[in-house]
Amino acid sequence: MSVIRMAMLLGPIALIGCAKENNLESSGATGAVRSAEAVGADEVPQASLHLQLAREQIAAAEKLNEEGEEDQAKSMLARAAADAELALLLSNEQSQKDEADAAMKRVTELRGNQ
């Protein structure tokens, strides 16, 4: 078999072996967004801002991945997950502050009735 025929037969096989699949694992970031949404992060101004950033970063990561920028896409997903987790924490903090304020108001009311 000539070298040219060999190259014609093995060339496409070699290229297939070198092809890189662009599988972007975004479930961590999207799960963090869903968790933040579930606790009402959209209702807390600071949390809502970080939640929106996370959503935008997930979209940007998907675009980067489509363009073949896998490392940058992974980095963007990490930022998205961090922003979503911050939104969750800020939302939880606000809930705890609201509960503490309600408890203090109740204590003040009870002391006033004595």
Assess if residue 55 is contained within a domain. Answer: yes
pLDDT in tens, 25-48: 888 999 999 999 999 999 999 999
The residue type found at 7 is A
The verdict on residue 3 lying in a domain is no
Domain residues for the domain of 43 are 23-112
| Separation of alpha carbons 112 and 85, rounded Å | 41
Helix crossing, 27-38 with 45-66: angle to 10°? Answer: 160
Is 10 inside any structural domain?
Answer: no
Q: Are 76 and 62 within 8 A, CB to CB?
A: no
Residues 6+ apart with CB under 8 A from 33: 51, 54, 55, 58, 80, 84
Tell me whether residue 29 is in a domain. Answer: yes
Domains in the chain, number:
1
pTM equals 0.71
pLDDT in tens, 50-65: 999 999 999 999 999 9
